[in-house]
Amino acid sequence: MDLEETREKRPPVTPMMIEEEAALRNGSRGLPPGSWAEAAGPRPRTTERHIAVHKRLVLGFAVSILALLAVTMIAVLLSVRFEECSAAADGPPRGSGNGSLPGAARQPSGAGQPPGRPEQEEENEARGGEVAEEEEEEEWQRRRELPPWTRPRLPQHLRPLHYNLMLSAFMENFTFSGEVNVQLEVLNASRYIVLHAHRMHIEAVRVAEDKLAGGVRVDRSFFYPQTQVFVVVLNRSLEVQKSYNLKIIYNALIENELLGFFRSSYVLHGERRFLGVTQFSPTHARKAFPCFDEPIYKATFKISIRHQATYLSLSNMPVETSVFEEDGWVTDHFSQTPLMSTYYLAWAVCNFTYRETVTKSGVVVRLYARPDAIRRGSGDYALNITRRLIEFYEDYFKVPYSLPKLDLLAVPKHPYAAMENWGLSVFVEQRILLDPSISSISYLLDVTMVIVHELCHQWFGDLVTPVWWEDVWLKEGFAHYFEFVGTDYLYPGWNMEKQRFLTDVLHEVMLLDGLASSHPVSQEVQQATDIDRVFDWIAYKKDYLTIHKYGNAARNDLWNTLSKALKRVGKSVNIQQVMDQWTLQMGYPVITILGNETTDNVIVISQERFVYDIDAKPKDPALGDSSYLWQIPLTIAVGNTSHISSEAIIWVSNKSEHHKIPALEEASWLLGNINQTGYFRVNYDIRNWRLLINQLTRNHEVISVSNRAGLIDDAFNLARAGYLPQNIPLEIIRYLSEEKDFLPWHAASRALYPLDKLLDRAENYNVFNEYILRQVASMYLKLGWPMNNLNKSLVQASYQHEELRREVIMLACSFGNKHCHQQAATLISDWISSNRNRIPLNVRDIVYCTGVSLMDEDVWEFIWMKFHSITAVSEKKILLEALTCSDDRNLLNRLLNLSLNSEVVLDQDAIDVIIHVARNPHGRDLAWKFFREKWKILNARYGEALFMNSKLISGVTEFLNTEEELRELKNFIKSYEGGAAVSFSRAVETVEANVRWKKLYKEELFQWLRKSLTH
């Protein structure tokens, strides 16, 4: 379908108007952004027309209008008086002025500046709230019960049915006012209304019964900041099975941060423009309006947004009507949503333009972005694949997309790659905008998979939502798996599901899950600060979606669905019993297969929990590693020099078991976990490892591509944890000179990365460096460099071949291949002298990084200048990352300090700058010192966005590996202020494991390397 560029214009009256990563491997060896970057952390998602609305929505809307009219008439006739109660403030100051929605809070005074209140007034209000809170707590103490507002979960005596939310956004001074009317159903009698509200000023509270009884007097109200709730105390109890309306008028700031309703900006034609956008997941809707901010409290929402006519507003649903005012303001009234959780609600106020397309089933898809990005066509790729993917998933899941439209919003600043708000998905620009003329295949893949992931959430998460955050993997895990399925649909030849899922997901998450401080897939969540750390991974499909449509689900609902599916095909399996061991226990097992020297054809299979540091204390001291036990479906095959048998399955349920294996001859080898379908590692006796190494050297194709990648990953990680001699993984990769498939090379590159970082400051590092170069050299010569492809299609050659070539060039330049360095320097010099960039797209990041690390300061300044002048986000990203590759410590320090200037480096990019400098051996200590000195600033900026804070802490500390650095880390943790205790605990364990490895195994490794290089 043709794409139409459109500037959002609203006629005076219309009936309805339609809305990381490449972590740069830094240092003198010039490894660029790519798969190495994130090797140690999970990668932590309508044209104007009348929309045909589902009959039930039309009926519901009509009923709600009639009910509203009836209530209004009765209220007028009976002269119902609503009791207003001024509440304590725990957030921004009160506004004043006029020009608000009818009955809503007023526009704050002082254009361009947030309004202010006298400090004395704020202190008095806070004091009043504390007195009310103390009085209430004393009453509950007399009852010997905890007050409901002190508990981590909301009390369950009320259920919200519908929200009517009216907002006024004042973009000139970054404030907003709101009026929310919540229809409540009473499940248990109570005189308390407890709901979430945080960092806002509440002006008035009213409670009325929807029927003839009239208003309910508000006795008092107060904030309870510890649980981020607002408490309304009534003079009588609300009656069971009756419905009430809670009305709250409030105002708050459009914050300059990354959560709640926050602001961002961009520059167009030299003018800085601002926009406001929301990020409510997991617990930040409460910053934008008072609400029941837990996923189980699904309700319908009717949103109205008032803004200046120079802006447009977007929300989850299409605009029904727009009402224009004479003073240049407009109010957009959006259609009512289906039942949904608060954290998927979204809105934005911006002056973007858009392009659109329509699916076969009539879903209108729009992509909104900066006008210059839309004009260049930077959103066209994302828009087209979104249309195709909606059509694909509707057919795949046999469940139609549930809303009339889907808007994709590209914003300059966002805490995550994307957020899958129902009907309004928000993406950071780097994860959705793509300029085909200057984007690499790896960047295209990154953009594709983020979009596919977020679209999966329109079914997994939006349509079916977890009951509580302990089962957040029900949405995140399955969406993560299906992003590979969706990408396979778009690019069948890329073989994403069967291959890249192994290296980019399975191997990656096993790194994190191998720590003693890991957590189960399903874990208990008590308070808001726990929630950001529980997002994990797994997979499911259609029946589940149909049964729980528009509802909530927990893990046992999934197990029951799978058990029923098995029963239909004649198999009776208690899925819950098996899976609880995998979801409720942390970590994963390592299976060890040993030959039995006394009995022919019998092997001993044992299991234990895999951990990188056996000295690390378990998270739960009462639960030692020896008590972990899994039911493990171990697939196993027997092979020899020319053949491998069909696989058999053995269920391993005990710590140690004996099993008879037919046809196990003297020269035969065993291979476990065929094609890596199981979530565990496999170790063997040394004899079997030798046989496998010999097989790879003689005829590696007897073993499947997936298992070759798996053997490499298992061997390196087993050696790092001390289960295997250090030379075994290095002997395995000797066969790579004959390996023509991308996946084993990719696995080797990712596995070598942490080992390289443990050694890159060692005196004998050149020995390791030389060994790796020998393994890479012949394949580097065979593949060569790509040709300039500026005028060719983005996916011009075989994906696997081009990615293999990129991986080998990256390793060659990283470890100092002279020809690779010379080629990179030549390409950079040609660009500088001609001011024409002829560097092949798929290796630009490698060349930029290598050039910056090898060449003088003038090259750094040239890249810095290009970073400022270019507008294409894909190019801007790799230019910024290249700056961190310098060997010059003064330049690295300069860049670190510049990273905190939001006008120069976007907030989410500053984290990457600091992390990339930390991965540069010349900058690791600089980044570590910078992190400690600027912690208060960094924690203030990212502290509530726990995912970002965790990423920063991990990235800066993960390759510290000396006793002195470990002491510095522990001393810093003792003195720091702020949260992130879990992230720091994990950091300590990681650094302790690094120190332990160096102490126990570094010399063993270097001795073997020296001996190997002399033969």
Catalytic positions, written as ranges? 454
The beta-strand segments (E) located in 495-569 are 551-553
- Nearest Cα to Cα of residue 874 among 440, 514, 524, 556: 440
User: Scanning the structure block, which residue is given the tokens 């907002």?
Assistant: 167
Instruction: Show Cβ contacts of residue 777 under 8 Å, excluding neighbours closer than 6 positions.
Output: 737, 812, 817
Dihedral sign for Cα atoms in the order 793, 797, 800, 802: negative
Element (H, E) at 321: strand 319-324
CA torsion angle 137 140 144 149 (round to 10):
-70
Angle between helices 765-783 and 742-759 (to 10 degrees): 160
What gap in Å lies between CA 562 and CA 577, rounded to an integer? 12
C-alpha 460/C-alpha 452 separation (Å) is: 12
Query: Pairing mode, if any, of strands 424-428 and 201-209?
Result: unpaired
CB 17 within 8 A of CB 314: no
State CA 963 to chain mean position distance. Answer: 33
Can you tell me whether residue 830 is helix, strand or coil? helix
Measured on CA atoms in the order 488, 493, 498, 503, is the torsion positive or negative? negative
Closest CA to 457 of 485, 425, 433: 425
The residues, ordered by sequence, that sit 6+ positions from 709 with a Cβ below 8 Å of its Cβ are 499, 502, 503, 676, 743, 744, 746, 747
Q: Which of 314, 485, 323, 490 is nearest to 405 (CA)?
A: 314
Which residue in 412, 482, 409 sits closest to 449, CA to CA? 482
Q: How many CB atoms lie within 10 A of CB 643?
A: 9
Exposure string (b/e) for 883-911, b if CB count within 10 Å is 16 or more? bbbbbbeebbbebbeebbeeeebbbbbbb
Alpha-carbon distance 138 to 234, whole Å? Answer: 17
Alpha carbon 75 to chain centroid distance? 48
Best CA proximity match to 388, nearest among 491, 318, 480: 491
